Structure 1
């Protein structure tokens, strides 16, 4: 008689454990309670390595164990801060995870084999090792296997069972190394900053216990925000001028752009303008038509999913990934944490596409892909562990919550777009010579929308041109000079920040959102209603202070170097101990000097606060921190078109500067456009964010006594395009006055 083997399967989340058990039992599993009410135990009978088996499937809830110092080290002021670099570190099960640990110990005592079903990435491998440690407290004779899978589907789970391996200790060591470094370095610098500022900065009220944390990923993330803010603050706009030719034909106004684009020498543009005007005619030098393609997106990886979620769905990266993980756990999509953006050659894409043939929204497009054959546009990255993110089952809006549906729909549409074909069109290019100056107009006729039929996140519009003939002479054109100013870049949004973190190796696709949330939670940065990040005084002061000490703590190089060393551990090129000693030595040397110069932290913070207080005392009050704007227009022989929005910066910022200028010149010159705007991030509420001096037009004060702003009539009618001066306070502000004056 063959004895029945007894096994324990442990997944990273309850939903995955339930999915694995349901697949292996073909729905015949039985559920019972564990010590944790959130982590059930699923019982089933099956096969293991050709033998009958009684299998229990349960789960943890992420990391089961954590690193910490001994109890005496938790009294910050009782120990030298530098001792954080060499005090003993203990790995234990925290109290909130103890019920799960008890379940694992008890269940392990009943079995002979343990199979780890955690996510197949670095963190999952490390969590698997934690599970083994706890389970062997219940049964030290356990035989341990590792299941590798990327989706909770019958094919993937059964394939994992047939190809069991072992835990990779090198990956476990890499995560352990990073965890210990994060604890030691974070504790040392966090204690240094917090204790000093609590004693020396006015930002902290008496008895305020706010933690001023440091993290080797957190700080570079903050550094990107601060660097962009300072780039904007130091930006000096430079005026430029350009020539524009306009031709009206067949009822269409065509604008020919200058081949030189723009020049920064006003007199030079005036000379060229005069030469073109004196020429009095233009010759169509060339009319060309050529095929134009708009490429379909590459296969979807985690970073791209996060960025698309931020830009297209208006969600935070954290929310996008939380929803994606839930969709994965419930079997709707593949594993959402992957660095891979190319499908393996043997991947059965046609079957996955066919799942959507009957969908009301994209079924016809999926069927057409099936007829042509799935042809994915692949990228060049692979983590050798997981395929790109793709749908596993067809869902309707009735199957999912609204936010879940948005993420699922994005994944499906991106997958179908990737597997389809590029958009095709014909581009027409007309080259016009006026004297020695070249001007170009382009048009586009879309012939096949391709992937864009199913992918509304991209736009590509027809742009018609009337007929032009090579060699024809044009005399009825309008020539004008447009002027403008170079513009500063925008503040970073979350998608921008994730791109920079990915580029410089700050964190992983699994932790980007976590680091961003941390700098928001610590109030190192604020988020404006448009989703852009504004550094707070505390964030600015920390970055500046370490820069002044000579340590670029906010730059990505330190953390990027650590990530390279962790990768070397995973490959077996370095040991955990070698990397630990090297990195701790480097950070300890920086800490010693930082401790000697910690007064720079409070001095820098106080300097920002003093500057803000001075501006607040002298600047007119702005309701709700609303921005101020200014517009100017100048014309020679024509009116000016310039409109500056006064609500471009939300209440977290105290001011924005914007200027647009347009100028027309000559008997046949049209109205000037070409204005540009520029914005500066300003202040946040509660004195925590920087405040810049408001920009007003003091020559045109409104009834409130503040500088007015120039606006342009947009409503259809006889006054459309006409400019007027009005109160600078935001539209809808209760104290906005009724000042109005037509501009000259």
Structure 2
């Protein structure tokens, strides 16, 4: 066609592309060809847009074209500290299974001048539209971009949308981008945290192998679980209480009237008996009031998504997930309007009569539709408004007549019938009744009875799901007296509320602003899929032990991570983005800052989760037997493999180490002093060590296994800047089962070379380019300690050693540590000095050395608040000079250049045989 422009049209699903193409082409001249993806065909036909001849190409995607995920180095579970996920880079990309769709869009976009987007007209659809725009514009930056807005796959809607194209809404898309990123960061961080913390410590009953169990956390999922658990706790805590009530009835020729006591009931048995006996002694009843009035029962508001799900659950016991699946099928087939809408009021421009006219031929409700259209029946009423309008779609209503299609399941028939009957009820007058209320007086006590007569059924004739019961009561006149037929004192007990039904749960979510009309059913399904809750045959929910334990743990922490308030505020902020009141970046910054603080607090109080789980589940012995592979607390990023984190672990012998989670592929490890009794990673970060962050570890040492002058509590760093920790390793040895004490195997030169090639990063600072013994961070200067003989000190032949700092004579002491028991040493008696020297070093002519004393009550604690490292920095005092000789745990002198892992001076740490352990 000469002068025609080529227009690429893209729908959200292949079925929609086929339906819209058929409508626009009137099924004439419609050609079909294959695209790159065999599921997403390309339809070709001619069309005219406002007088402009167009050659239309119509294809589709299948839902979201792109995925949001972390960059590769953060995707593995043990690749980083979960808190890093709050600021880790994320990217949107086309996954492998949709590359063919992407290629189709690129190829067709290059041929076209226009791009018309036919994605679903909600926020999610708008976000998919911008994904399509990104792909197509990358292939053809000159494209004119337009948006088709429609609510039903029927001729008048589609042609109107094609002739009235608009611009896509970037605010809608930004709101979805914000929600996706918030959910990804929060969900991934908490899921990794609680799964790593709990999975291997407890035997968790589930339908899957508990080694592969993922304890998922979702910012919408957990508040939804919270509603279920809260109702369950309310039932469990309920204590039945007995009460008493007085019932009165009167039977006459006109019928039976049952009178209710105006007090309701009493919990005091004595009072109830006294009042009852008064009534029995003076049983004559006097009519004090007769009131007659007209009553109306109004039809429901137009049908929104939430109401559709609630009513299908209540009327058919159909799950919300199933309801939405069936409604989507009916929409795509053109029988109902778009099923995901918050709107519950019709626009004045909607032709309601035309919708009713299409239903006149139905064998069940066709006659009622005819009555509606008959002016003499006076049944028609403008539908009421529920007060919600999402400005995107009308309420759910029928768009095409059907008496039942071949291939429809019973659920399809039920949902279609519900939509039609609900619409017909909406445009009908309310039911009218006459209600009579009679009040009587017996011995000073008031009773009342109510009778109702339905005068006009109106909408109840078509809306069979609702009834308006009533009963006739005898006629009474004020002042009339009679003797009750029965007057009894009855007892009962209070009952707890029932478990939440699916309709109740949807109402709770809707009221609290948890999820959207399009996602609520999915949150409920996830709770069932992940074994956090179960649903019985009456569609009522109970928490599983796992679900209750998780909520209990977070509740004991004192945080509202399972309450709706946090998520409700997020949903409100995302709605603000969708209307342009806030920016995406503004909402992301606020929400993630808040949830990061919650995450850090939850991690510090993780013992509460462990205690809650212990109530419901038996402890697993895997945590003790699998320590080489079990995840610990992250200390820093591994500088060797550059992929995984270094975590604090405890081996089978009870000794601590910091090892790479990439084991056995990466065997990077730092063995800690064997005298460590307890160790825990803190949230404080070393201000000296790079690359960071390097988290400080709170140590508690066995007092008898460390030399005098060292504090049993120490806040230390494994990054290489901590002199106190290094000195304790030298004195006490490490917890390695094969540390250098004559027990370790030797390595061949081949193995050493292989190990050297693999272990190429410095153990202290995690940088490459030098070995740990040449690390610049270890070359800190200090004063050389000196020993001298004092000839005036007693008997000839005795050696007197004075402190190199203050000159005070140092007494000879005997070590009582496991590694050096019985070995003698000199140390300064003053708490202000750090002088220490083995006696046999003096005999061998070696000088003494000064140590930096740890003071957990002052320096370490202050450093903890500042994120620092205590008194000695990387180049601070207390470090060793190049000319200082140290002593190994065996008592043998070693040079300053030695293996940091095992202490052996015969090799460096990068070829240490103990790395294979």
**TM-score, normalization: structure 2?**
0.65
2:64 counterpart SS class:
coil
Deviation at 1:596, TM superposition (A): 2.3
Q: Which has the larger radius of gyration?
A: 2
Greater relative contact order (Cα 8 A, min sep 6): structure 1 or 2?
A: 1
* Counterpart in the other structure of 1:679: none
Question: Is contact 1:201-1:602 (8 Å) kept?
Answer: no
Structure 2 residue aligned with 1:542, among 529, 546, 550?
A: 550
1:438 counterpart SS class:
strand
Structure 2 residue aligned with 1:434, among 442, 464, 469?
A: 442
* Counterpart in the other structure of 1:358: 361
- Higher mean C-alpha displacement, 497-506 vs 205-214: 205-214
Deviation at 1:37, TM superposition (A): 2.8
* Counterpart in the other structure of 2:51: 50
1:395 counterpart SS class:
coil
Structure 2 residue aligned with 1:572, among 568, 580, 594?
A: 580
CA RMSD in angstroms comes to 1.8
2:216 is equivalent to residue 213 of structure 1: yes
- Per the alignment, do residues 318 and 488 of structure 1 end up closer, same or farther by CA in structure 2, a change over 3 Å counting? same
1:106-148 Cα deviation digits (max 9, x unpaired) = 2212211100111111101101001111222332221110111
In the alignment, the residues of structure 1 paired with residue 71 and residue 516 of structure 2 have an alpha-carbon distance, to the nearest angstrom, of: 29
5+ residue gaps in structure 2? 620-917
Question: Is contact 1:243-1:482 (8 Å) kept?
Answer: yes
In the alignment, the residues of structure 1 paired with residue 360 and residue 489 of structure 2 have an alpha-carbon distance, to the nearest angstrom, of: 55
Deviation at 1:403, TM superposition (A): 1.5
2:289 counterpart SS class:
strand
Deviation at 1:476, TM superposition (A): 4.9
Equivalent runs, 1:425-574 vs 2, <5 Å: 425-574=433-582
- Per the alignment, do residues 476 and 314 of structure 1 end up closer, same or farther by CA in structure 2, a change over 3 Å counting? closer
* Counterpart in the other structure of 1:22: 22
Deviation at 1:296, TM superposition (A): 0.8
In the alignment, the residues of structure 1 paired with residue 175 and residue 169 of structure 2 have an alpha-carbon distance, to the nearest angstrom, of: 10
1:273-302 Cα deviation digits (max 9, x unpaired) = 111111131122333322121111111111
Deviation at 1:462, TM superposition (A): 3.5
* Counterpart in the other structure of 1:133: 134
- Higher mean C-alpha displacement, 217-226 vs 462-471: 462-471
In the alignment, the residues of structure 2 paired with residue 6 and residue 597 of structure 1 have an alpha-carbon distance, to the nearest angstrom, of: 61
2:581 is equivalent to residue 581 of structure 1: no
In the alignment, the residues of structure 2 paired with residue 41 and residue 269 of structure 1 have an alpha-carbon distance, to the nearest angstrom, of: 80
Structure 1 residue aligned with 2:294, among 285, 291, 294?
A: 291
Question: Is contact 2:46-2:53 (8 Å) kept?
Answer: yes
In the alignment, the residues of structure 2 paired with residue 402 and residue 7 of structure 1 have an alpha-carbon distance, to the nearest angstrom, of: 40
Question: Is contact 2:12-2:60 (8 Å) kept?
Answer: yes
In the alignment, the residues of structure 2 paired with residue 597 and residue 34 of structure 1 have an alpha-carbon distance, to the nearest angstrom, of: 54
* Counterpart in the other structure of 2:188: 187
In the alignment, the residues of structure 1 paired with residue 19 and residue 445 of structure 2 have an alpha-carbon distance, to the nearest angstrom, of: 68
In the alignment, the residues of structure 1 paired with residue 122 and residue 588 of structure 2 have an alpha-carbon distance, to the nearest angstrom, of: 21
1:338 counterpart SS class:
coil
Structure 2 residue aligned with 1:386, among 390, 393, 407?
A: 393
Equivalent runs, 1:172-251 vs 2, <5 Å: 172-203=173-204, 208-250=211-253
Deviation at 1:574, TM superposition (A): 1.9
1:184 counterpart SS class:
helix
1:76 counterpart SS class:
coil
In the alignment, the residues of structure 1 paired with residue 484 and residue 493 of structure 2 have an alpha-carbon distance, to the nearest angstrom, of: 29
Question: Is contact 2:242-2:491 (8 Å) kept?
Answer: yes
In the alignment, the residues of structure 2 paired with residue 50 and residue 8 of structure 1 have an alpha-carbon distance, to the nearest angstrom, of: 18
2:409 is equivalent to residue 401 of structure 1: yes
* Counterpart in the other structure of 1:682: none
Question: Is contact 1:431-1:440 (8 Å) kept?
Answer: yes
Deviation at 1:87, TM superposition (A): 1.6
- Higher mean C-alpha displacement, 8-17 vs 449-458: 8-17
Question: Is contact 2:326-2:415 (8 Å) kept?
Answer: yes
Deviation at 1:610, TM superposition (A): 6.1
* Counterpart in the other structure of 1:10: 10
- Higher mean C-alpha displacement, 565-574 vs 291-300: 565-574
1:502 counterpart SS class:
helix
**TM-score, normalization: structure 1?**
0.80
In the alignment, the residues of structure 2 paired with residue 325 and residue 458 of structure 1 have an alpha-carbon distance, to the nearest angstrom, of: 25
2:144 is equivalent to residue 143 of structure 1: yes
Question: Is contact 2:203-2:210 (8 Å) kept?
Answer: no
* Counterpart in the other structure of 1:166: 167
2:518 counterpart SS class:
coil
In the alignment, the residues of structure 2 paired with residue 241 and residue 155 of structure 1 have an alpha-carbon distance, to the nearest angstrom, of: 64
In the alignment, the residues of structure 2 paired with residue 30 and residue 402 of structure 1 have an alpha-carbon distance, to the nearest angstrom, of: 35
1:203-227 Cα deviation digits (max 9, x unpaired) = 2798611110111101100111011
* Counterpart in the other structure of 2:274: 271
- Per the alignment, do residues 439 and 476 of structure 1 end up closer, same or farther by CA in structure 2, a change over 3 Å counting? closer
In the alignment, the residues of structure 1 paired with residue 597 and residue 89 of structure 2 have an alpha-carbon distance, to the nearest angstrom, of: 19
1:45 counterpart SS class:
strand
1:614-672 Cα deviation digits (max 9, x unpaired) = xxxxxxxxxxxxxxxxxxxxxxxxxxxxxxxxxxxxxxxxxxxxxxxxxxxxxxxxxxx
In the alignment, the residues of structure 1 paired with residue 79 and residue 392 of structure 2 have an alpha-carbon distance, to the nearest angstrom, of: 46
Question: Is contact 2:248-2:484 (8 Å) kept?
Answer: no
1:384 counterpart SS class:
coil
Question: Is contact 2:204-2:210 (8 Å) kept?
Answer: no
2:336 counterpart SS class:
coil
Structure 2 residue aligned with 1:321, among 317, 321, 324?
A: 324
* Counterpart in the other structure of 2:668: none
In the alignment, the residues of structure 2 paired with residue 345 and residue 476 of structure 1 have an alpha-carbon distance, to the nearest angstrom, of: 56
Question: Is contact 1:202-1:606 (8 Å) kept?
Answer: no
1:376-414 Cα deviation digits (max 9, x unpaired) = 122211111111111011111245332211100000000
Structure 2 residue aligned with 1:377, among 348, 360, 384?
A: 384
In the alignment, the residues of structure 1 paired with residue 97 and residue 137 of structure 2 have an alpha-carbon distance, to the nearest angstrom, of: 20
Deviation at 1:608, TM superposition (A): 2.2
- Higher mean C-alpha displacement, 97-106 vs 505-514: 97-106
1:376 counterpart SS class:
coil
In the alignment, the residues of structure 2 paired with residue 486 and residue 368 of structure 1 have an alpha-carbon distance, to the nearest angstrom, of: 48
Question: Is contact 1:218-1:519 (8 Å) kept?
Answer: yes
1:109 counterpart SS class:
helix
5+ residue gaps in structure 1? 612-744
In the alignment, the residues of structure 1 paired with residue 519 and residue 164 of structure 2 have an alpha-carbon distance, to the nearest angstrom, of: 29
Deviation at 1:419, TM superposition (A): 0.5
1:165 counterpart SS class:
coil
In the alignment, the residues of structure 2 paired with residue 78 and residue 468 of structure 1 have an alpha-carbon distance, to the nearest angstrom, of: 82
In the alignment, the residues of structure 2 paired with residue 602 and residue 202 of structure 1 have an alpha-carbon distance, to the nearest angstrom, of: 13
In the alignment, the residues of structure 2 paired with residue 326 and residue 376 of structure 1 have an alpha-carbon distance, to the nearest angstrom, of: 26
Equivalent runs, 1:587-736 vs 2, <5 Å: 587-609=595-617
In the alignment, the residues of structure 2 paired with residue 144 and residue 433 of structure 1 have an alpha-carbon distance, to the nearest angstrom, of: 77
In the alignment, the residues of structure 2 paired with residue 215 and residue 305 of structure 1 have an alpha-carbon distance, to the nearest angstrom, of: 25
Structure 2 residue aligned with 1:368, among 342, 352, 371?
A: 371
